Structure 1
Amino acid sequence: MELIKYTHSCVRLEKEGGVLVVDPGNFSGPEELAEVLDGADALLVTHVHPDHLDAAPVQEHLRSHPELEVHAPASVAAGLRESVGDGHRIHDVEPETVLEISGFTVRTFGGQHALIHPLIRTVDNIGYLVDDTVYHPGDSLVVPHGLSASVLLAPIHAPWNKLAEVIDFVVAVRPERVFPIHDALLSANGFGIIEKQLTAFAGKYGAEYRHLGTRERVRLERRPVPAGHDHAPARKEHL
Protein backbone atom coordinates (compact mmCIF):
# COMPACT_ATOMS: atom_id res chain seq x y z
CA MET A 1 0.00 0.00 0.00
CA GLU A 2 1.18 3.52 -0.78
CA LEU A 3 0.14 6.75 0.90
CA ILE A 4 0.24 10.13 -0.81
CA LYS A 5 -0.01 13.15 1.46
CA TYR A 6 -1.98 16.08 0.15
CA THR A 7 -2.76 19.44 1.73
CA HIS A 8 -3.92 19.52 5.35
CA SER A 9 -5.71 16.26 6.30
CA CYS A 10 -6.24 14.83 2.82
CA VAL A 11 -4.49 11.57 1.97
CA ARG A 12 -4.77 9.08 -0.86
CA LEU A 13 -4.12 5.36 -0.37
CA GLU A 14 -3.34 3.07 -3.31
CA LYS A 15 -3.07 -0.72 -3.34
CA GLU A 16 -3.23 -3.20 -6.22
CA GLY A 17 -5.34 -0.86 -8.34
CA GLY A 18 -7.68 0.17 -5.52
CA VAL A 19 -7.78 3.80 -4.39
CA LEU A 20 -9.16 5.32 -1.18
CA VAL A 21 -9.23 9.06 -0.52
CA VAL A 22 -9.64 10.41 3.01
CA ASP A 23 -10.88 13.94 3.79
CA PRO A 24 -10.70 15.88 0.50
CA GLY A 25 -10.96 19.34 2.06
CA ASN A 26 -11.07 22.93 0.88
CA PHE A 27 -7.42 23.75 1.59
CA SER A 28 -6.46 21.61 -1.41
CA GLY A 29 -7.94 23.83 -4.11
CA PRO A 30 -9.65 22.71 -7.35
CA GLU A 31 -6.56 21.48 -9.23
CA GLU A 32 -5.26 19.42 -6.32
CA LEU A 33 -8.71 17.99 -5.53
CA ALA A 34 -9.11 16.86 -9.12
CA GLU A 35 -5.75 15.07 -8.85
CA VAL A 36 -6.66 13.51 -5.50
CA LEU A 37 -10.02 12.21 -6.72
CA ASP A 38 -8.83 10.95 -10.10
CA GLY A 39 -9.46 7.21 -10.28
CA ALA A 40 -10.67 6.94 -6.68
CA ASP A 41 -12.91 4.01 -5.80
CA ALA A 42 -14.17 5.40 -2.50
CA LEU A 43 -14.03 8.44 -0.26
CA LEU A 44 -13.76 8.22 3.51
CA VAL A 45 -14.92 11.35 5.33
CA THR A 46 -14.16 11.83 9.02
CA HIS A 47 -16.53 14.73 9.67
CA VAL A 48 -18.47 17.62 8.17
CA HIS A 49 -16.02 20.53 8.48
CA PRO A 50 -15.02 22.03 5.11
CA ASP A 51 -11.29 21.58 5.69
CA HIS A 52 -12.08 17.84 5.59
CA LEU A 53 -14.88 17.82 3.01
CA ASP A 54 -15.03 20.46 0.28
CA ALA A 55 -18.67 19.75 -0.43
CA ALA A 56 -19.32 21.53 -3.74
CA PRO A 57 -16.45 20.04 -5.83
CA VAL A 58 -16.90 16.62 -4.22
CA GLN A 59 -20.61 16.67 -5.08
CA GLU A 60 -19.79 17.69 -8.64
CA HIS A 61 -17.27 14.85 -8.90
CA LEU A 62 -19.81 12.37 -7.55
CA ARG A 63 -22.36 13.41 -10.16
CA SER A 64 -19.91 12.77 -12.99
CA HIS A 65 -18.49 9.54 -11.50
CA PRO A 66 -21.41 7.27 -10.61
CA GLU A 67 -19.07 4.43 -9.64
CA LEU A 68 -17.51 6.39 -6.75
CA GLU A 69 -18.63 5.40 -3.23
CA VAL A 70 -18.62 7.53 -0.09
CA HIS A 71 -18.45 6.43 3.55
CA ALA A 72 -19.15 9.16 6.09
CA PRO A 73 -20.91 9.88 9.39
CA ALA A 74 -24.69 9.75 8.99
CA SER A 75 -25.27 13.51 8.98
CA VAL A 76 -22.58 14.03 6.35
CA ALA A 77 -23.84 11.17 4.20
CA ALA A 78 -27.41 12.52 4.37
CA GLY A 79 -26.29 15.90 3.07
CA LEU A 80 -24.40 14.33 0.19
CA ARG A 81 -27.34 12.09 -0.74
CA GLU A 82 -29.64 15.10 -0.82
CA SER A 83 -27.26 17.08 -3.01
CA VAL A 84 -26.21 14.31 -5.38
CA GLY A 85 -29.56 12.54 -5.58
CA ASP A 86 -28.03 9.08 -5.63
CA GLY A 87 -28.14 7.40 -2.25
CA HIS A 88 -27.18 3.79 -2.92
CA ARG A 89 -23.44 4.52 -3.02
CA ILE A 90 -23.29 6.99 -0.13
CA HIS A 91 -23.06 5.03 3.10
CA ASP A 92 -23.59 5.95 6.73
CA VAL A 93 -20.59 4.96 8.84
CA GLU A 94 -20.91 3.91 12.44
CA PRO A 95 -18.03 3.43 14.87
CA GLU A 96 -16.73 -0.04 15.69
CA THR A 97 -17.48 -1.64 12.34
CA VAL A 98 -15.38 -3.34 9.67
CA LEU A 99 -15.73 -2.32 6.03
CA GLU A 100 -14.36 -4.13 3.00
CA ILE A 101 -13.81 -1.46 0.35
CA SER A 102 -12.05 -2.02 -2.99
CA GLY A 103 -9.56 -4.49 -1.55
CA PHE A 104 -8.95 -2.50 1.65
CA THR A 105 -10.09 -3.52 5.12
CA VAL A 106 -11.22 -0.47 7.06
CA ARG A 107 -12.00 -0.45 10.76
CA THR A 108 -13.95 2.51 12.11
CA PHE A 109 -13.62 4.27 15.44
CA GLY A 110 -15.83 7.03 16.56
CA GLY A 111 -17.21 9.56 18.83
CA GLN A 112 -17.03 13.29 18.63
CA HIS A 113 -14.83 15.98 17.18
CA ALA A 114 -12.38 17.37 19.72
CA LEU A 115 -13.73 20.23 21.82
CA ILE A 116 -13.00 23.66 20.33
CA HIS A 117 -14.93 25.65 22.95
CA PRO A 118 -17.83 24.76 25.27
CA LEU A 119 -20.06 27.17 23.33
CA ILE A 120 -19.23 25.54 19.97
CA ARG A 121 -21.19 22.36 19.31
CA THR A 122 -19.18 19.25 18.61
CA VAL A 123 -19.93 17.11 15.55
CA ASP A 124 -19.62 13.41 14.86
CA ASN A 125 -16.12 12.28 13.95
CA ILE A 126 -15.07 8.87 12.59
CA GLY A 127 -11.48 7.63 12.62
CA TYR A 128 -10.38 5.07 10.02
CA LEU A 129 -7.80 2.30 10.41
CA VAL A 130 -6.88 1.00 6.96
CA ASP A 131 -5.50 -2.52 6.55
CA ASP A 132 -4.57 -2.66 10.25
CA THR A 133 -1.73 -0.33 9.33
CA VAL A 134 -2.52 3.38 8.96
CA TYR A 135 -4.82 5.32 11.29
CA HIS A 136 -6.46 8.60 10.29
CA PRO A 137 -8.20 10.01 13.39
CA GLY A 138 -9.91 12.98 11.79
CA ASP A 139 -10.15 15.75 14.38
CA SER A 140 -9.73 13.74 17.56
CA LEU A 141 -6.84 12.90 19.85
CA VAL A 142 -8.74 10.16 21.67
CA VAL A 143 -7.03 6.77 21.45
CA PRO A 144 -9.81 4.24 20.80
CA HIS A 145 -9.92 1.04 22.82
CA GLY A 146 -8.27 -1.78 20.89
CA LEU A 147 -6.49 0.46 18.41
CA SER A 148 -3.15 -0.81 17.15
CA ALA A 149 -1.61 1.05 14.22
CA SER A 150 1.95 0.96 12.96
CA VAL A 151 1.44 4.22 11.04
CA LEU A 152 -0.24 7.20 12.70
CA LEU A 153 -1.43 10.29 10.88
CA ALA A 154 -1.18 12.86 13.66
CA PRO A 155 -3.13 16.16 13.58
CA ILE A 156 -0.24 18.37 14.59
CA HIS A 157 -1.86 21.82 14.68
CA ALA A 158 -5.44 23.06 15.11
CA PRO A 159 -7.61 25.55 16.99
CA TRP A 160 -8.70 22.59 19.13
CA ASN A 161 -5.34 21.12 20.17
CA LYS A 162 -2.02 22.00 21.75
CA LEU A 163 1.41 20.46 21.33
CA ALA A 164 1.34 18.63 24.67
CA GLU A 165 -1.85 16.83 23.64
CA VAL A 166 -0.38 15.83 20.27
CA ILE A 167 2.73 14.44 21.97
CA ASP A 168 0.59 12.44 24.43
CA PHE A 169 -1.49 11.11 21.52
CA VAL A 170 1.59 9.90 19.66
CA VAL A 171 3.01 8.31 22.81
CA ALA A 172 -0.30 6.59 23.66
CA VAL A 173 -0.85 5.09 20.18
CA ARG A 174 2.73 3.73 20.11
CA PRO A 175 3.07 3.61 16.31
CA GLU A 176 6.23 2.75 14.43
CA ARG A 177 5.95 5.76 12.13
CA VAL A 178 4.22 9.12 12.46
CA PHE A 179 3.28 11.44 9.60
CA PRO A 180 1.68 14.88 9.99
CA ILE A 181 -1.82 15.89 8.98
CA HIS A 182 -3.95 18.92 9.88
CA ASP A 183 -1.02 21.23 9.20
CA ALA A 184 -2.24 23.81 6.67
CA LEU A 185 -2.23 26.70 9.16
CA LEU A 186 1.45 26.28 10.06
CA SER A 187 4.24 28.53 8.81
CA ALA A 188 7.74 27.24 8.16
CA ASN A 189 8.76 28.45 11.61
CA GLY A 190 5.75 26.74 13.16
CA PHE A 191 6.64 23.43 11.50
CA GLY A 192 10.16 23.74 12.83
CA ILE A 193 9.06 24.20 16.44
CA ILE A 194 6.37 21.54 16.49
CA GLU A 195 8.19 18.90 14.47
CA LYS A 196 11.38 19.24 16.51
CA GLN A 197 9.45 18.24 19.63
CA LEU A 198 7.45 15.50 17.92
CA THR A 199 10.59 14.00 16.44
CA ALA A 200 12.28 13.92 19.84
CA PHE A 201 9.34 12.50 21.78
CA ALA A 202 8.43 9.94 19.12
CA GLY A 203 12.02 8.74 19.11
CA LYS A 204 12.01 8.22 22.87
CA TYR A 205 9.15 5.76 22.44
CA GLY A 206 10.55 3.90 19.45
CA ALA A 207 8.71 5.75 16.68
CA GLU A 208 10.00 7.66 13.68
CA TYR A 209 8.42 11.04 12.96
CA ARG A 210 8.74 12.14 9.36
CA HIS A 211 7.54 15.32 7.70
CA LEU A 212 5.63 14.79 4.46
CA GLY A 213 5.22 17.53 1.90
CA THR A 214 2.26 17.90 -0.42
CA ARG A 215 2.16 15.07 -2.98
CA GLU A 216 4.92 13.16 -1.20
CA ARG A 217 4.47 9.38 -1.47
CA VAL A 218 5.49 6.66 1.01
CA ARG A 219 5.14 2.89 0.93
CA LEU A 220 3.36 1.25 3.87
CA GLU A 221 3.54 -2.43 4.73
CA ARG A 222 0.47 -4.16 6.10
CA ARG A 223 0.89 -5.51 9.62
CA PRO A 224 -0.08 -9.13 10.26
CA VAL A 225 -3.44 -9.48 12.03
CA PRO A 226 -2.89 -10.82 15.57
CA ALA A 227 -4.00 -14.40 16.27
CA GLY A 228 -7.64 -14.56 17.21
CA HIS A 229 -8.43 -11.24 15.51
CA ASP A 230 -10.14 -12.47 12.36
CA HIS A 231 -11.81 -10.06 9.97
CA ALA A 232 -14.77 -11.71 8.26
CA PRO A 233 -14.97 -11.11 4.50
CA ALA A 234 -18.35 -9.40 4.75
CA ARG A 235 -18.49 -5.89 3.48
CA LYS A 236 -19.65 -4.50 6.82
CA GLU A 237 -20.03 -5.98 10.26
CA HIS A 238 -20.11 -4.86 13.85
CA LEU A 239 -17.01 -5.55 15.91
Structure 2
Amino acid sequence: MLLTKYSHSCVRIEQGGSVLVIDPGTFSEVEEALAGAGVVLVTHEHPDHIAVDRVVAVLQANPGIELWSPRGVVDTVGAALGGGAAHRLHAVSGGEEFTVAGFAVRTFGGQHALIHALIPMIANVGFLIDGSVYHPGDSLIVPDGIDVGTLLVPVHAPWSKLAEVVDFVTSVRAPRAFQIHDGLLNETGLGMVEGHLTRLGARYGTDFRHLATRESVEV
Protein backbone atom coordinates (compact mmCIF):
# COMPACT_ATOMS: atom_id res chain seq x y z
CA MET A 1 0.00 0.00 0.00
CA LEU A 2 1.09 3.54 -0.72
CA LEU A 3 0.33 5.97 2.11
CA THR A 4 0.41 9.73 1.50
CA LYS A 5 0.33 12.18 4.41
CA TYR A 6 -1.69 15.35 4.02
CA SER A 7 -1.94 18.21 6.52
CA HIS A 8 -3.11 17.42 10.04
CA SER A 9 -4.94 14.05 10.26
CA CYS A 10 -5.69 13.37 6.59
CA VAL A 11 -4.06 10.39 4.90
CA ARG A 12 -4.57 8.78 1.49
CA ILE A 13 -4.00 5.06 0.94
CA GLU A 14 -3.67 3.54 -2.54
CA GLN A 15 -3.57 -0.11 -3.50
CA GLY A 16 -4.34 -1.98 -6.71
CA GLY A 17 -5.86 1.08 -8.33
CA SER A 18 -8.19 1.79 -5.40
CA VAL A 19 -7.96 4.89 -3.21
CA LEU A 20 -9.12 5.29 0.39
CA VAL A 21 -8.92 8.59 2.29
CA ILE A 22 -9.20 9.09 6.05
CA ASP A 23 -10.22 12.35 7.77
CA PRO A 24 -10.23 15.04 5.05
CA GLY A 25 -10.68 17.97 7.44
CA THR A 26 -10.56 21.74 7.30
CA PHE A 27 -6.78 21.91 7.84
CA SER A 28 -6.16 19.49 4.96
CA GLU A 29 -5.90 19.51 1.17
CA VAL A 30 -9.34 17.95 0.84
CA GLU A 31 -9.90 18.07 -2.91
CA GLU A 32 -6.37 16.91 -3.70
CA ALA A 33 -6.53 14.04 -1.23
CA LEU A 34 -9.92 12.88 -2.53
CA ALA A 35 -8.99 12.95 -6.23
CA GLY A 36 -9.82 9.52 -7.63
CA ALA A 37 -10.94 8.17 -4.24
CA GLY A 38 -13.63 5.53 -3.92
CA VAL A 39 -13.83 5.46 -0.14
CA VAL A 40 -13.82 8.13 2.58
CA LEU A 41 -13.46 7.12 6.22
CA VAL A 42 -14.15 9.75 8.88
CA THR A 43 -13.24 9.05 12.50
CA HIS A 44 -15.54 11.69 14.00
CA GLU A 45 -17.49 14.88 13.38
CA HIS A 46 -15.02 17.61 14.38
CA PRO A 47 -14.26 19.95 11.45
CA ASP A 48 -10.52 19.30 11.51
CA HIS A 49 -11.43 15.71 10.55
CA ILE A 50 -14.20 16.41 8.05
CA ALA A 51 -14.64 19.64 6.13
CA VAL A 52 -18.32 18.97 5.52
CA ASP A 53 -19.00 21.50 2.76
CA ARG A 54 -15.91 20.54 0.78
CA VAL A 55 -16.39 16.80 1.22
CA VAL A 56 -20.06 17.09 0.22
CA ALA A 57 -19.04 18.99 -2.92
CA VAL A 58 -16.67 16.16 -3.87
CA LEU A 59 -19.35 13.53 -3.16
CA GLN A 60 -21.83 15.44 -5.32
CA ALA A 61 -19.36 15.60 -8.19
CA ASN A 62 -18.35 11.94 -7.84
CA PRO A 63 -21.38 9.71 -7.19
CA GLY A 64 -19.24 6.58 -6.89
CA ILE A 65 -17.59 7.62 -3.61
CA GLU A 66 -18.85 5.97 -0.40
CA LEU A 67 -18.40 7.31 3.13
CA TRP A 68 -18.07 5.35 6.38
CA SER A 69 -18.20 7.14 9.73
CA PRO A 70 -20.01 7.42 13.06
CA ARG A 71 -23.74 8.17 12.85
CA GLY A 72 -23.41 11.90 13.53
CA VAL A 73 -21.25 12.41 10.44
CA VAL A 74 -23.56 10.27 8.29
CA ASP A 75 -26.58 12.32 9.34
CA THR A 76 -24.87 15.64 8.65
CA VAL A 77 -23.50 14.61 5.26
CA GLY A 78 -26.78 12.92 4.33
CA ALA A 79 -28.77 16.07 5.07
CA ALA A 80 -26.41 18.12 2.91
CA LEU A 81 -26.52 15.64 0.02
CA GLY A 82 -30.29 15.28 0.08
CA GLY A 83 -32.35 12.27 -0.93
CA GLY A 84 -30.95 9.35 -2.85
CA ALA A 85 -27.56 9.29 -1.09
CA ALA A 86 -28.34 6.82 1.69
CA HIS A 87 -26.74 3.88 -0.12
CA ARG A 88 -23.42 5.74 -0.19
CA LEU A 89 -23.30 6.61 3.52
CA HIS A 90 -22.57 3.98 6.16
CA ALA A 91 -22.72 4.46 9.94
CA VAL A 92 -20.15 2.46 11.90
CA SER A 93 -19.11 2.04 15.51
CA GLY A 94 -16.30 0.17 17.21
CA GLY A 95 -15.93 -3.59 16.79
CA GLU A 96 -17.06 -3.86 13.17
CA GLU A 97 -15.45 -5.32 10.06
CA PHE A 98 -16.20 -4.63 6.41
CA THR A 99 -14.55 -4.66 3.00
CA VAL A 100 -14.86 -1.75 0.59
CA ALA A 101 -13.07 -1.09 -2.71
CA GLY A 102 -10.74 -3.99 -1.98
CA PHE A 103 -9.68 -2.69 1.45
CA ALA A 104 -10.40 -4.75 4.58
CA VAL A 105 -11.38 -2.39 7.41
CA ARG A 106 -11.78 -2.99 11.14
CA THR A 107 -13.03 -0.42 13.63
CA PHE A 108 -11.91 0.14 17.21
CA GLY A 109 -12.97 2.30 20.13
CA GLY A 110 -16.13 4.31 19.81
CA GLN A 111 -15.57 7.36 21.98
CA HIS A 112 -13.61 10.58 21.48
CA ALA A 113 -10.93 11.27 24.07
CA LEU A 114 -12.06 13.51 26.92
CA ILE A 115 -11.37 17.19 26.24
CA HIS A 116 -13.05 18.57 29.38
CA ALA A 117 -15.90 17.49 31.64
CA LEU A 118 -17.93 20.49 30.44
CA ILE A 119 -17.55 19.53 26.77
CA PRO A 120 -19.96 16.80 25.63
CA MET A 121 -18.41 13.52 24.52
CA ILE A 122 -18.89 12.44 20.90
CA ALA A 123 -18.34 9.22 18.97
CA ASN A 124 -14.94 8.42 17.49
CA VAL A 125 -13.94 5.33 15.57
CA GLY A 126 -10.38 4.19 14.87
CA PHE A 127 -9.79 2.46 11.52
CA LEU A 128 -7.42 -0.43 10.83
CA ILE A 129 -6.76 -0.88 7.10
CA ASP A 130 -5.84 -4.30 5.71
CA GLY A 131 -4.76 -5.45 9.16
CA SER A 132 -1.78 -3.13 9.04
CA VAL A 133 -2.33 0.67 9.04
CA TYR A 134 -4.08 2.05 12.13
CA HIS A 135 -5.59 5.56 12.29
CA PRO A 136 -7.09 6.15 15.76
CA GLY A 137 -8.74 9.51 15.08
CA ASP A 138 -9.01 11.55 18.28
CA SER A 139 -8.36 8.76 20.72
CA LEU A 140 -5.47 6.67 21.98
CA ILE A 141 -7.30 3.34 21.87
CA VAL A 142 -4.85 0.44 21.55
CA PRO A 143 -6.33 -2.15 19.15
CA ASP A 144 -6.59 -5.50 20.90
CA GLY A 145 -5.34 -8.75 19.39
CA ILE A 146 -3.65 -7.00 16.46
CA ASP A 147 -0.02 -6.61 15.44
CA VAL A 148 -0.20 -3.16 13.87
CA GLY A 149 2.33 -2.66 11.08
CA THR A 150 2.03 1.12 10.67
CA LEU A 151 0.77 3.37 13.45
CA LEU A 152 -0.50 6.89 12.79
CA VAL A 153 0.11 8.86 15.97
CA PRO A 154 -1.94 11.92 17.05
CA VAL A 155 1.06 13.83 18.34
CA HIS A 156 -0.76 16.84 19.82
CA ALA A 157 -4.33 17.81 20.71
CA PRO A 158 -6.35 19.75 23.29
CA TRP A 159 -7.27 16.39 24.80
CA SER A 160 -3.80 14.82 25.12
CA LYS A 161 -0.47 15.22 26.84
CA LEU A 162 2.94 13.93 25.81
CA ALA A 163 3.02 11.13 28.39
CA GLU A 164 -0.21 9.68 27.00
CA VAL A 165 1.07 9.84 23.43
CA VAL A 166 4.32 8.09 24.39
CA ASP A 167 2.36 5.40 26.24
CA PHE A 168 0.20 4.90 23.15
CA VAL A 169 3.22 4.35 20.92
CA THR A 170 4.98 2.04 23.37
CA SER A 171 1.79 0.04 23.98
CA VAL A 172 1.00 -0.57 20.30
CA ARG A 173 4.66 -1.35 19.50
CA ALA A 174 4.23 -1.07 15.75
CA PRO A 175 7.48 -1.44 13.79
CA ARG A 176 6.90 1.95 12.16
CA ALA A 177 4.96 5.07 13.08
CA PHE A 178 4.24 8.47 11.52
CA GLN A 179 2.69 11.63 12.90
CA ILE A 180 -0.86 12.87 12.42
CA HIS A 181 -2.88 15.57 14.21
CA ASP A 182 0.06 17.94 14.00
CA GLY A 183 -1.74 21.02 12.64
CA LEU A 184 -1.69 22.97 15.91
CA LEU A 185 2.06 22.69 16.51
CA ASN A 186 4.73 25.04 15.21
CA GLU A 187 8.06 23.70 14.01
CA THR A 188 9.68 24.00 17.44
CA GLY A 189 6.89 22.16 19.27
CA LEU A 190 6.64 19.44 16.67
CA GLY A 191 10.37 18.85 16.78
CA MET A 192 10.30 18.48 20.56
CA VAL A 193 7.37 16.01 20.57
CA GLU A 194 8.73 13.96 17.70
CA GLY A 195 12.14 13.84 19.31
CA HIS A 196 10.67 12.16 22.39
CA LEU A 197 8.61 9.74 20.29
CA THR A 198 11.62 8.81 18.18
CA ARG A 199 13.88 8.21 21.18
CA LEU A 200 11.38 6.45 23.46
CA GLY A 201 9.59 4.54 20.71
CA ALA A 202 12.89 3.00 19.60
CA ARG A 203 13.23 1.33 23.00
CA TYR A 204 10.09 -0.65 22.22
CA GLY A 205 10.90 -1.47 18.60
CA THR A 206 9.06 1.42 16.92
CA ASP A 207 10.78 3.40 14.19
CA PHE A 208 9.03 6.77 14.38
CA ARG A 209 9.70 9.32 11.68
CA HIS A 210 8.18 12.52 10.35
CA LEU A 211 6.26 12.59 7.07
CA ALA A 212 6.08 15.91 5.28
CA THR A 213 2.80 17.06 3.75
CA ARG A 214 2.26 15.20 0.45
CA GLU A 215 5.11 12.77 1.23
CA SER A 216 4.35 9.14 0.34
CA VAL A 217 5.70 5.90 1.75
CA GLU A 218 5.11 2.22 1.02
CA VAL A 219 3.60 0.42 4.01
Does the CA-based 8 Å contact 2:125-2:136 persist in structure 1?
yes
C-alpha distance in structure 2 between counterparts of 1:112 and 1:191, whole Å: 26
For residue 45 of structure 1, what is the aligned residue in structure 2? 42
Query: Match of 1:23?
Result: 23
- The CA deviation string for residues 204-226 of structure 1, in whole angstroms up to 9 with x for no partner, is 01110010010000001xxxxxx
Q: How far is 1:145 from its partner?
A: 2.6
Structure 2 counterpart of 1:195: 194
Q: Distance in 2 between matches of 1:106 and 1:139?
A: 18
TM-score by length of 2: 0.97
Q: What's the secondary structure of 1:147's corresponding residue?
A: coil
Listed one character per residue, the Cα deviations across residues 161-218 of structure 1 (whole Å, up to 9, x for unaligned) are 0100000000011100010000011111111111111000110011100100100000
Asked if the contact 2:143/2:172 (under 8 Å) is kept, the reply is: no
Q: Partners in 2 of 1:51 and 1:69 — Cα distance?
A: 20
Query: Is 1:63 paired with 2:54?
Result: no
Counterpart Cα distance in 2 of 1:165 and 1:114 = 11
**Structure 2 counterpart of 1:23, which letter?**
D
Select between 168-177 and 74-83 the one with higher mean Cα deviation: 74-83
Aligned match of 1:129: 128
Structure 1, residues 24-46: CA drift from partner, whole Å, max 9, x if none?
A: 00002xxx221111000010000
Match of 2:6 in 1: 6
Moved more, 76-85 or 52-61: 76-85
- 1:172 match: 171
The match for 1:99 is 98
Give the corresponding residue for 1:54.
51
Identity among equivalent positions (%) equals: 52
Runs of 4+ in 1 over 4 A off after TM superposition: none
Question: In structure 2, what is the equivalent of residue 148 of structure 1?
Answer: 147
1:163 aligns with 2:183: no
How far did 1:61 drift? 1.0
| d(CA) in 2 for partners of 1:203, 1:116 | 29
Distance in 2, matches of 1:76 and 1:207, equals 33
AA partner of residue 186 (structure 2): S
Tell me the distance in 1 between the aligned counterparts of 2:147 and 2:120: 29
Q: What RMSD over aligned residues (CA atoms) do the two structures have, in Å?
A: 0.8
The amino acid of 1:114's aligned partner reads: A
Q: Which residue of 2 aligns with 1:232?
A: none
Contact 2:109/2:141, CA 8 A, preserved across alignment: no
Matched position secondary structure for 2:67: strand
Aligned mates of 1:204, 1:110 — CA distance in 2: 26
Write out per-residue CA displacement over residues 118-160 of structure 1, whole angstroms, 9 at most, x where no aligned residue: 0001110000000111000000012133233111000000111
Q: Secondary structure at the match of 1:88?
A: helix
**How many angstroms apart in 1 are the aligned matches of 2:31 and 2:76?**
21
- Deviation of 1:21 after TM superposition, in Å, equals 0.3
AA aligned to 1:106 is: V
Q: Which residue of 2 aligns with 1:34?
A: 31
What letter is aligned with 1:24? P
State the shift of 1:99 in Å.
Answer: 1.1
The aligned amino acid for 2:78 is R
TM-score of the two chains, using structure 1 as the length reference: 0.89
Aligned position for 1:110 = 109
> How big is the shift at 1:13?
0.1
